[in-house]
């Protein structure tokens, strides 16, 4: 991938804007963005991961509370982001709050992985939360045992027969139904 840095103004709603540098892609041999109908992407990462030490969106914002909340819905047009990260108590319940343990990425403690009676040790591993991805990846030592025995038919006809998968962040369990972890494409 090659490109240049361009300057532009990012606006979120009527009240929030920041002038900042963007990585503008000029040439790419492969990108998952090739199949995604988007006109742009803005990273909500920490400055430690910024390419070429470009100031991040939050660095450029002139607001006192630099945080965000992401509210994903089944339909993308119903999903939204709030800045600062105010919680929408009317439409959502708090599932869990997790401290960031590494500010290079949005890293939290991975407390465990499991399905049915299988419990996988995640000692020494953390989880990175990325709101812009619909995939989960990890080292073979913990992902291979997790997916072993979970076989999806090519036509996805057996999705309802697959086990739930539990991901533990800190000590909070999040249970994924098969329809949550299998993408029917």
- pLDDT by residue for the chain (185 residues), tens only, comes to 677 888 888 777 777 778 887 777 777 666 655 665 555 556 666 677 676 777 877 777 777 776 777 666 777 677 766 776 666 667 667 777 788 888 777 788 999 999 988 999 999 999 887 766 667 778 899 999 988 889 999 898 999 999 999 999 998 999 999 988 887 77
Cis peptide before 84 (omega within 30 of 0): yes
At residue 123, the pLDDT reads 92
The Cα 84–Cα 23 span in angstroms is 24
The structure tokens 């006109």 sit at 39
Taking the C-alpha atoms of 98, 11, 52 and 28 in order, what is their torsion angle to the nearest 10 degrees? 100
At residue 122, the pLDDT reads 93
- Reported pTM: 0.65
At residue 119, the pLDDT reads 93
At residue 180, the pLDDT reads 86
At residue 92, the pLDDT reads 67
Judge whether 20 and 61 are in contact, CB under 8 Å: no
CA distances to 3, 97, 101 from 127, rounded to whole Å, are 30, 14, 10
At residue 37, the pLDDT reads 54
DSSP structure string for the chain: -EEEEEEEEEEETTTEEEEEEEEEEEE-S--GGGGS--S-------GGG-GGGPPPHHHH---SS---EEE--SSGGG-EEESS----TTT---------SBTTTTEEEEEEEEETTEEE--TT-EEE--TT-------HHHHHHHHTT----TT-TTGGGSPPEEEEETTEEEEE-HHHH----
At residue 159, the pLDDT reads 92
């Amino acid at each position: 991938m090659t490109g240049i840095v361009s300057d532009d103004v990012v606006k979120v709603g009527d009240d929030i804007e920041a002038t900042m540098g963007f990585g503008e892609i000029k040439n790419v041999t492969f990108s998952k963005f090739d199949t995604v109908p988007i006109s742009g992407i803005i990273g909500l990462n920490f400055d430690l991961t910024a390419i070429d030490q470009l100031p991040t969106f939050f660095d450029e914002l002139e607001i006192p509370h630099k945080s965000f909340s992401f509210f994903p819905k089944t339909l993308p047009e119903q999903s939204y982001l709030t800045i600062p990260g105010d919680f929408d108590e009317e439409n959502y319940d708090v599932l869990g709050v997790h401290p960031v343990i590494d500010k290079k990425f949005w890293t939290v403690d991975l407390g465990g992985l499991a399905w049915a009676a299988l419990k996988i040790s995640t000692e020494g591993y953390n989880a990175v939360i990325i709101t812009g991805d619909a995939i989960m990846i990890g080292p073979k030592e913990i992902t291979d045992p997790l997916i072993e025995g979970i076989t999806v038919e090519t036509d996805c006809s057996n999705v309802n027969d697959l086990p739930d998968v539990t991901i533990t962040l800190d000590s909070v369990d999040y249970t994924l139904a098969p329809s949550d972890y299998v993408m029917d494409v």
